[in-house]
Each structure stands twice: as structure tokens, then as C-alpha cells.
Homo-oligomer: A and B are copies of this chain.
Amino acid sequence: MPVVPVTLPQHRYDVAIEPGALGKLGERMRAVAPASSALIVFDRALEATHLPRARASLEAAGYATVCTPFPGGEENKTLATVHELYDVLLAHRFERRSPLVALGGGVLGDTAGFAAATYLRGVPFVQCPTTLLAMVDSSVGGKVGVNVKQGKNLIGAFYQPVSVVADPLVLRSLPARELRCGLAECIKHAVIADAALFAWTRTHMHELLALDADALAQLIARNVAIKAAVVMQDEKENGVRAHLNLGHTFGHAIEAGVGYGRILHGEAVGLGMLAATTLAGELGIAARELRAEVEDVVGRAGLPRRAQLPDDARLLAAMKLDKKVAAGSIRFILPERIGAVVIRETVAPEAVNAAWASIRS
């Protein structure tokens, strides 16, 4: 099976990407997390479609399975949900070696991953992302956690999975809006690190939106490779990993301002990337033409290019609560050109407000 390896100082794992990979899940798990039983946390929307395939594969590989549904939606990415997962793990007396399998999108993977990271001080964790966003972003790299009322992802851990299995065929049941959210992160990766991928993505957007399996597999593999390379350089986000936050400082404030659930994470990141590109132009970091180039691809992906936003003061307050704030200053990731970004911590408020204006409808 084609794999992208992720090699960290204390841990290595593979991201397997192949049409049909979900049917070989149990086989892969035997190699990295042998045990007598496994917990599958699954997205309730997948109960009739992908869950039976994953479960059958695990049972065939000798795991007794317990399956517990997870309601979709960012509003369930909470400590309360994590506690419910603890209760399931405790009720079934899952042991240290018993793996926890997350079958769903990023919200599910982040929440279940935090439970895996903290139950018995950590049990083996397997990511089976079922959205494009989760495949190319959240399932790789070990960031797990939940939201609190004060902001997104403020409680969590760095906890690497033992395996990630991404099956492009699973994306056939994904709502179009969520596919587009995944494309937002793919465009982000290309802007950060890979001009050739940016051009390829623009050229192949039609096939990607039509769910062509080969195009999707190639897109996923190239994006996972970018994400993995960054994580391998900087697992705990002390340096270059911050580049992956392009669009996120704005994006998290957009989500907080518009309301979780009313705008999707990928949509907010797409908008945030546009705002960051405007800001880069305002500051003379990038040519002003870059904005149109990025907006073109964001538009081709069918992502929003404007949103109804709260006033600048509220957005600023939301940005300041972001984890990426260091010593009170907000850290912006800004594109210099397609394929290269820089970090800026001191930015004139007027320039930030101009960036907000560029995406406000």
C-alpha cells in the first residue's frame, strides 16, 4: 500500500493512502497495535456505510470491537464528550495496549485522540480520517484536543497516532461543502510550501471536485507529504510548524465571530488565507497581485470569498485569545509568494483592519 512515513525522534508511523485502504485496516493495525480488543469511535453518519467495513476488517484481524457513536459537529468537540469516551473505555475496562480507532472527520479525530492521549496516560491511537480535511491535515501530526467556551483547541496534547489510514473512496459519501473545506487546507499547503502543487491543484480542480479517485489519491499523498515534512522538522510547534497556521489566526477569529457550526473550519481557513494575503500585500511582504492569484483558486474550489463578520474590535479580541499569541503579540503567518511564508509579530492595526475589510461582505 502506498505510504507516507512520519519519522519523529521517539516515534514513527505511516500514513497509508489507497482506494480501499479501509478494508485492510485490521491487517495494518495488527502490525502496530496488537491487542485483543479495540474501540472504534465513529461518526454517526457513517454507521451504515463505512463503520461495517472497518469493523469487519478489525474482527477478521482478531480484535473484539466495541463501537461508540460520536455526534458530528464542532459543538461536540468538548471536554464533556471526552469524559463520555472515558466512561466507555472504563466500562469496557480497556487496557493500555488496546487501540482506539477514530473513524470520522477532524472534530471526531481531535476529540477521540485527546481521550486516547489521556486514558491510562495514553493508549495506541489509529486515525481513519473520512473527510479530505482530516486526511490532509488533522489526522497527521499529533495535535489532539477540544474547544472550550473561551476558544478553539485551548485544551489538548501532542499525541501521535500509531497509524493513519486514508481511503479516498470514503470521500464519495462526503458532502460537497466538506470536500471544499478539505481543498482549502490543500491550497494552504501549496501556498506555504509547493508552487508546483498550487498549479497542479488549480489545473485539476474539476477532477477533484468530481471525486476522481486517482486525482484525490495524488492530492492527498502530496499534501500529507508536506504536512509530514513540517511535523518531522518541528513536532511541538516551536518553529516551522507555525507555518501551517497560515490563515488560522484570522480563521479562528472568524469561527469565533461567526459562530462554530455556522461556518466550517475549512471555509474560515480559506477566508483567513485571503485575509493574510491581503495583509502581506499591505505590509509589502508580497506583491499585491498575489491576492487575486490565491482568490482565483479559492473561488475555483467553490469556497466563500466573503463573510458577514463582527466589528474589528471583536475580531481582534478573538485573535488575542488564540494559542499562537506569544507575550501578548499576535503571530501572523504571511505569504511572500506561492510556496513561501514568513512570520510577523508586530503589525499595524490599520493593516489588519484592511485585511478584515477585504473579506467582509
Binding site for B on A (CB under 8 A): 9-10, 35-36, 79, 83, 86, 90, 93, 95-97, 114, 117-122, 143, 145, 148, 150, 153-158, 236-237, 320-321, 323, 325-328
Given contacts A79-B79, A97-B326, A120-B156, 5 further A-B contacts (CB under 8 A): A9-B10, A93-B320, A95-B325, A121-B158, A122-B236
- What B residues does A148 contact at CB under 8 A? 86, 90
Counting every copy of the chain, the complex holds 2
**Given contacts A9-B10, A10-B10, A93 and B156 within 8 Å (CB-CB):** no
Q: Do residues B327 and A93 form an inter-chain contact, with CB atoms below 8 A?
A: no
Minimum CB distance partner of A149 in chain B: B90
- 24 CB contacts below 8 A, A to B, read A9-B9, A35-B327, A36-B327, A79-B83, A86-B148, A90-B154, A93-B320, A93-B325, A95-B325, A95-B326, A96-B323, A96-B326, A117-B157, A118-B156, A120-B155, A120-B323, A121-B143, A121-B145, A121-B153, A121-B157, A121-B323, A122-B157, A122-B158, A122-B236
Q: Do residues A157 and B154 form an inter-chain contact, with CB atoms below 8 A?
A: no
- What B residues does A158 contact at CB under 8 A? 121-122
In the assembly, what is the distance between CA of A236 and CA of B327, in Å? 32
Minimum CB distance partner of A119 in chain B: B155
- What B residues does A153 contact at CB under 8 A? 121
Q: Which of A122, A155, A157, A320 has the most CB of B within 10 A?
A: A155
Interchain nearest-CB distance for A119 vs B (Å): 6
In the assembly, what is the distance between CA of A114 and CA of B120, in Å? 12
In the assembly, what is the distance between CA of A157 and CA of B116, in Å? 10
Q: Which of A90, A121, A237 has the most CB of B within 10 A?
A: A121
- Shortest Cβ-Cβ A-B pairs, 5 listed: A90-B150, A121-B156, A120-B323, A118-B155, A121-B157
In the assembly, what is the distance between CA of A155 and CA of B86, in Å? 8
In the assembly, what is the distance between CA of A238 and CA of B79, in Å? 28
Interchain nearest-CB distance for A86 vs B (Å): 6
In the assembly, what is the distance between CA of A158 and CA of B156, in Å? 13
Interchain nearest-CB distance for A150 vs B (Å): 5
In the assembly, what is the distance between CA of A150 and CA of B36, in Å? 22
Minimum CB distance partner of A121 in chain B: B156
- What B residues does A120 contact at CB under 8 A? 154-156, 323
